[in-house]
């Protein structure tokens, strides 16, 4: 991600000049200045100064949600399309923003643009508000002159993300409620009902069947060992968090995530759609392929996918085509690779990538519907079967006692 730097340098006449520039590292900025025949004196990253109030404010209020980012991009695009200048557009959006944290950053954005900074450079000063992908896309729009189209694409991107998340939340709501109810019933049966019945059976010297003995052992373990179980769960959580700091383990975990049934495929196809639409927008803006591939890592938080995208970038940098590079990774399906090859051959790669985006967006919608229709019956079968097993374990001794008395 590009960051703002402040530099001090001398020109050929010996005059000291200062300014700001965007780059990934201070070395990159130094090389750029040297190419302009400037003698670099000092380069330092321009950081946002935060007061205690600012820090407290950021902990208290999340600067911006994806829904707000989508609305921001949509409003910004409409205003720019209507011919309103960037600064005036931002001022209009800031005046209507209800999120105080976001409004404060938009005001800061306006101030920095008034001071002469570009929009992308000013946005990079607020990384808690504007994601790296959005900043780079805005920078690409500034370079290519189609900022309004870029903003429209980003608005659709965030709106799609919000829609998919809401669909998934709605899908998971009923199973979560069902799981909580089942857990409460399970605890009640194991810790209260079962011990009560087994006490009665002990008085009658009744022999308990195997399912009842099994559940009774679980009941006693839960009732006598719950402090240890809580400590084990807490220790597992802390230990898991520590292990996930290891890059290899975290990458393996993320590989597992995208290979899980249903939910993993949903995550995987969402990532493919994001990759396709991001590449398409950047290439359509005139950004060269290697620069586009350098930025793709910011499209996903999945470390396994990031690793494969780095592998793709290195393969293309070594002279292979994009389609060949994708085929050599373990991420892109054959349909994706074949259509990319067709796009490269015909010179319509941005259009092909947009088509792929639409294909995988449709597949995500279908996957959510499949997830919804499959999960509820599956949970009902599993939970219903477990409850029936518990009830059977409780009632079997009753039937045995009744049969014994009937035969007397």
Per-residue pLDDT of the chain (408 residues; tens, 9 = 90+): 566 777 777 777 767 777 777 777 777 777 777 777 777 777 777 665 444 444 444 444 445 889 999 999 999 999 999 999 999 999 999 998 888 889 888 998 999 898 888 898 888 888 888 988 888 889 888 888 889 989 998 999 899 889 888 887 887 787 788 888 888 888 887 777 777 777 776 666 667 778 878 888 877 777 777 788 788 888 888 887 777 788 888 888 889 988 888 788 888 998 999 899 889 988 888 888 988 888 787 788 889 999 999 999 999 999 999 999 999 998 999 999 999 999 999 999 999 999 999 999 888 888 888 877 777 788 888 888 888 888 888 777 777 777 666 665
Q: 10 Cβ partners below 8 Å, 6+ apart?
A: 16, 17, 38, 39, 41
Residue appearing with tokens 């049934």: 261
Neighbours of 199 (CB within 10 A): 9
CA distance 61 to 64: 9
Cβ neighbours around 142 below 10 Å, total: 17
Which stretch of DSSP H or E encloses residue 289? Answer: helix 289-295
Tokens of 339: 């259509």
Q: CA-CA distance, 281 to 159, in Å (whole number)? A: 16
Structure tokens of 92?
């209009």
Beta strands per DSSP E along 24-142: 39-45
DSSP string, 141-185: HHHHT-HHHHHHHHHHHHHHHHHHHHHHHHHHHHHHHHHHHHHHH
Give CA–CA dist 250/243, Å, rounded.
8
Q: What is the value of pTM for the model shown? A: 0.69
Inter-CA distances, 316 with 46, 271, 322, 350, Å: 33, 20, 6, 17
DSSP 8-state secondary structure symbol assigned to residue 208: P
């Amino acid at each position: 991600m590009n960051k703002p730097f402040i530099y001090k340098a001398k020109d050929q006449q010996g005059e000291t000049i200062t300014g700001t520039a965007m780059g990934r590292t201070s070395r990159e900025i130094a090389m750029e200045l040297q190419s302009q025949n400037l003698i670099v004196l000092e380069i330092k990253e321009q950081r946002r100064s935060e007061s205690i109030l600012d820090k407290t404010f950021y902990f208290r209020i999340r600067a911006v949600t994806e829904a707000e980012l989508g609305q921001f991009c949509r409003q910004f695009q409409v205003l720019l399309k209507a011919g309103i200048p960037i600064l005036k557009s931002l001022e209009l959006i800031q005046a209507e923003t209800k999120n105080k944290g976001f409004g404060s950053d938009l005001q800061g954005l306006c101030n920095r643009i008034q001071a002469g900074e570009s929009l992308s450079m000013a946005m990079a000063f607020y990384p808690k508000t504007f994601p790296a992908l959005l900043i780079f896309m805005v920078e690409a729009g500034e370079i290519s002159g189609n900022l309004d189209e870029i903003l429209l694409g980003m608005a659709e991107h965030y709106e799609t993300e919000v829609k998919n998340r809401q669909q998934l939340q709605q899908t998971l709501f009923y199973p979560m409620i069902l799981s909580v109810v089942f857990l409460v019933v399970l605890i009640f049966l194991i810790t209260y009902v079962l011990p009560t019945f087994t006490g009665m059976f002990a008085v009658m010297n009744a022999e308990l069947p195997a399912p009842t003995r099994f559940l009774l052992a679980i009941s006693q373990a839960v009732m006598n060992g719950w402090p240890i179980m809580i400590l084990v769960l807490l220790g597992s959580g802390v230990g898991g968090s520590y292990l996930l700091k290891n890059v290899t383990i975290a990458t393996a975990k993320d590989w597992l995530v995208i290979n899980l049934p249903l939910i993993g495929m949903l995550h995987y196809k969402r990532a493919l759609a994001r990759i396709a639409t991001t590449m398409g927008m950047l290439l359509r803006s005139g950004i060269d392929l290697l620069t586009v591939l350098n930025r793709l890592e910011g499209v996903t938080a999945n470390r396994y996918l990031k690793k494969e995208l780095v592998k793709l970038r290195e393969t293309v940098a070594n002279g292979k085509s994009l389609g060949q590079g994708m085929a050599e990774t373990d991420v892109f399906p054959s349909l994706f690779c074949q259509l990319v090859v067709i796009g490269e051959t015909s010179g319509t790669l941005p259009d092909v990538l947009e088509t792929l985006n639409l294909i995988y967006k449709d597949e995500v919608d279908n996957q959510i519907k499949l997830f919804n229709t499959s999960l509820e019956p599956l949970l009902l079968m599993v939970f219903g079967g477990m409850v029936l097993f518990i009830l059977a374990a409780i009632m079997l001794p009753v039937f045995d006692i009744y049969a014994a008395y009937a035969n007397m």
